[in-house]
Amino acid sequence: MRRLPLIVTVLVLAAAGVLLALVARREPAPVAAPVHFALTGHHGRPVTEADLAGRPVLLYFGYTFCPDVCPTELGYVARVLRALGPEAAQVQPVMVTIDPARDTAAKLADYVPLYHERLLGLTGTPEQVAALADQFGVHYQRANVATAKPGYYLMDHTATTFLLDRQGRLALKIDSHTVPVETAAAEIRSRL
């Protein structure tokens, strides 16, 4: 008799997990208008949406001091680009920092090539970064962590990669926890 409630509980939890994975993978409707931004690239030059026009963009919001999530996500982006093969040349990977106080252009210039030679790092004022993040519903905030290092902190943030179409509109949200690399590459390939 006790096994039946346990089996039912396991089945309900499994169904909930499948439903959560399907919802997390659901593709958003493209936004009506292209995104707009004015930031600074890791080479110190201004970058706007016009500089990326005509190419699909894989866009991730993160920060260089992130100990685990950002390296994992940027590694995922690099694997997706490798899975695309020669077609990856059509896609521009971009990381926008959510920690512009520490992530200067110079810091990004040291960081982004560790993941992919074409990864573009973007920074700006807190207001510029927030304006772009808001267009994607990306949430982030400083997390105070008890540490002996003065000024040390982490950032809590959304960990999603976004695909923008050639017109700069949101085409796809990619959750690396539920979408295998090959599936993400196929989804991107179908939009090239």
CATH number at residue 132: 3.40.30.10
Q: What is the pLDDT of residue 2?
A: 56
pTM of the model: 0.81
| Chain Cα centroid distance, residue 173 | 9
Number of domains in the chain: 1
Question: Which residue range is the domain that position 17 belongs to?
Answer: 3-189
Q: What is the mean pLDDT of the chain?
A: 85
Helix, strand, or coil (residue 36): coil
Q: Computed from CA positions of residues 130, 132, 134, 137, in that sequence, does the dihedral angle turn out positive or negative?
A: negative
Q: What is the pLDDT of residue 172?
A: 93
* Per-residue pLDDT reduced to its tens digit, 89-124: 999 999 999 999 999 999 999 999 999 999 999 999
Instruction: Say yes or no to pLDDT of 25 above 90.
Output: no
Band of the pLDDT at 164, cuts 50, 70, 90? very high
Q: What is the pLDDT of residue 93?
A: 98
Q: What is the pLDDT of residue 19?
A: 35
Determine contact, residues 94/119, Cβ cutoff 8 Å.
yes
Instruction: Say yes or no to pLDDT of 83 above 80.
Output: yes
Q: Which two tokens stand for residue 46?
A: 């201004």
Q: Which of 157, 173, 175 is nearest to 65 (CA)?
A: 157
